[in-house]
Structure 1
């Protein structure tokens, strides 16, 4: 068969998606749980602290700073399961923070 741009696109798409599909179910479930736990933890923390007289801007900056430092401080060059789960926790946390900001209109 001829090599067209469409077949090259499909081949590159399969090469990109294949590592995510070929992982074990245990690894995928741990990564999904860490993503959801990051969302839940930050959402409940923000909801709890909004009732307190705390400056929410500094709270949001502090949460984002802690999440970024946690993933940047790792000196491991390859992605291990722990680093990937910390990264997924960070992504879920950032998503909850942005969603809360949209709900509050700020």
Structure 2
């Protein structure tokens, strides 16, 4: 039994309270951890191409190996939903590296 009367102010307070509860209940940490994982994928992708280029000596082969790594991530993504975010950042880094090579 609620002690507040049913007024517009009480409805507004309940609505704001529910929104705050939903925000702290889990959606914000999912968004922030998803963003961190995308950035980690970008970091790994950008460093991966540089190191592969140093190992192979050719940018073409480093792009091929990066493509194989991306396909490997696509194969194992059903084990963890966070791998999709990681793969998104990884692919973005590879595409950005391709634009840098083209210029």
| Bin for the TM-score computed over the shorter chain | 0.5 to 0.7
Give the superposition deviation at 1:93: 0.8
Higher helix share: 2
* Structure 2 unaligned blocks of 5 or more: 1-22
Greater relative contact order, per chain length (Cα 8 Å cut-off, separation 6+): 1
Which residue of the partner structure matches residue 70 of structure 1? 73
Preserved contact between residue 53 and residue 62 of structure 2 (Cα < 8 Å): no
Normalization by structure 2: what TM-score? 0.60
Match of 1:8 in 2: none
Query: How many residues end up aligned between the 2 structures?
Result: 79
Once superposed, which parts of structure 1, at least 4 consecutive aligned residues long, lie more than 4 Å away?
none
Unaligned ranges ≥5, structure 1: 1-21, 77-81
**RMSD (Å) for aligned C-alpha atoms:** 2.4
Normalization by structure 1: what TM-score? 0.59
